[in-house]
Amino acid sequence: MTGKLDLDPVLVARARELARAAGRPVVELARSHTTVSVERAVLRLAGVAGADPDGIPWVNRLVDAVVADVGLGHGVAGPVFDALVREQMTDVTLLAQKAAAGSVRFAVPSGRAATVARRAARRAVGVGIRQIDRLRAERERLVRRYGGRAAVERGVDGPGGGGRRPLIYLIVATGDIYEDIPQAQAAARAGADVVAVIRSTGQSLLDYVPEGATREGFAGTYATQENFRLMRAALDSSSKELGRYVRLTNYASGLCMPEMAILAGLERLDMMLNDSMYGILFRDINPVRTFVDQRFSRQVHARAGIVINTGEDNYLTTADAVEEAHTVTVSQLLNEYFAHEAGLADWQLGLGHAFEINPEVPESFRLELAHALLARELFPDAPLKWMPPTKHMTGDVFRGNLLDGFFNLVGAMTGQGILLVGMMTEAVVTPWLSDRDIALQNVRYVLGAAGGLHEDFLPAPGGFIQRRAHRVLGEAVRLLERIGEQSLLTAIAEGTFGIMKRPADRGKGLAGVARHEVDYYNPATEILERPV
């Protein structure tokens, strides 16, 4: 590898090997443990749906009943389908309702009973997996029909030429799905290629997924299967109207990460926010719980053809974007390793980074260019998720609009694949439609005037930008070496990322983790790890 930055290919290869060495023990941890959310995700694939009158999903009630009788370490599929056979039932949701009423008891089957239960579980879960497969094929059919910028992750030019252009990513967040829908459709008509529905504050810490269409949220809208369905249908209508495929994004993070991944696959969402460490660092979720949930969720994303968006931009909201730039590179390398191990391809890696250097820092624009180009050259086949300024937005909307213009220009000069639209009213209000219109004008102007600039932009050999990129990569390698001398979990506990200290034996959700017993069985993992 040389490219525009003349990076040392030996150093780049060493960085990747160090990331693999740091990540392998975490993968082994994930392969030997399960969580309540992984088990609930398995039962959702098998068809458990709906909620009790208190709004608690039947899948929670069923897993809780199994755990109360036999624990979590065997997996729930064997005990649940053994009970179905014994009760001479075929409806798993009905079994969940009986279990919640205390009229069904569970046992770990053995011998022929175990064989029969596993066969039934594999058949039921296979129905859910095939539905995900059908919807992935449907997305691919629609992308082929509409083409355009939807193919950016494959490096294909958009309509009208102009070189490789990013997917324009825009957020809606009213708290009411029926208000989100017209806003999302308006955003699509104004040029958005990707619509992200921000999730209600605090949902990541709920250990259940709310049910149904929702009209009350806090700074966002609850992520539910019905809300996914409604928004997907609306954006399909917009895609037909506009003649280009409009993508939908939500969150596979928090305590229900595996279940959100399943629901996204069952409702044909296209991108999911899914970072390896975000929940640990910024939501204080137990590290082991997070890594176990994350591996399963990424296996589902790989199968569903969903692009993940990682969250390194968040590190720079708590840490300095210059001093800690190398921690972003380290996290990108770790996210890449974990994603590949789970089966995701490079085109599915929306690795995150951000324009968060203090504008008062001398040469801040050149530093941003160096960091963005480093990410582009380290991950040439990944779309990358380029995040706009937030930390240093002051409420001065004119200054904010200028910063967003500089952000858009760096994106154009470095060939970013997914460009989140920055708002000049960041830190002032939840954006109004008029704010989004002005922000999109900013994007259209920069991409129209300089969208192909990455073809001509070449930093001076040995100049400021090359030297800065080399320094960040060198610091990233040294940090990975230090992590290798201890462990990734220790590094997280000591506050290496985002200056947040998160020990592995603390954090939310730890009670929902169990080591596999010798007879642990998970039909979903069995299918997902089988070559397609």
Residues with active-site annotation: 278, 313, 385
Containing H/E element for 194? strand 194-197
Q: Is the Cβ–Cβ distance between 330 and 477 less than 8 Å?
A: no
**What is the sign of the dihedral through the CA atoms of 468, 473, 476 and 481?**
negative
42 token code pair: 């398995």
Measured distance CA(244)–CA(149) in Å, rounded: 8
Measured distance CA(36)–CA(34) in Å, rounded: 7
Q: 418-420 and 167-172 as β-strands: parallel, antiparallel, unpaired? A: parallel
**Residues sharing a CB contact under 8 Å with residue 267, sequence separation 6 or more, in sequence order:** 135, 225, 228, 229, 232
Locus of tokens 């608690």: 56
Measured distance CA(446)–CA(98) in Å, rounded: 60
Q: Is the Cβ–Cβ distance between 192 and 170 less than 8 Å?
A: yes
Name which of 78, 12, 18 is nearest 42 in CA terms: 78
DSSP H helices, 33-110, are 36-45, 58-70, 77-86, 92-100
301 token code pair: 């994303």
Q: Is the Cβ–Cβ distance between 30 and 291 less than 8 Å?
A: yes
Measured distance CA(477)–CA(330) in Å, rounded: 8
From the number of C-beta atoms within 10 Å of its C-beta (0-12, 13-18, 19+), residue 111 rates as exposed
In Å, the largest CA–CA distance within the chain is 74
Q: Which residues pair with 171 in a beta bridge?
A: 196
Measured distance CA(5)–CA(91) in Å, rounded: 59
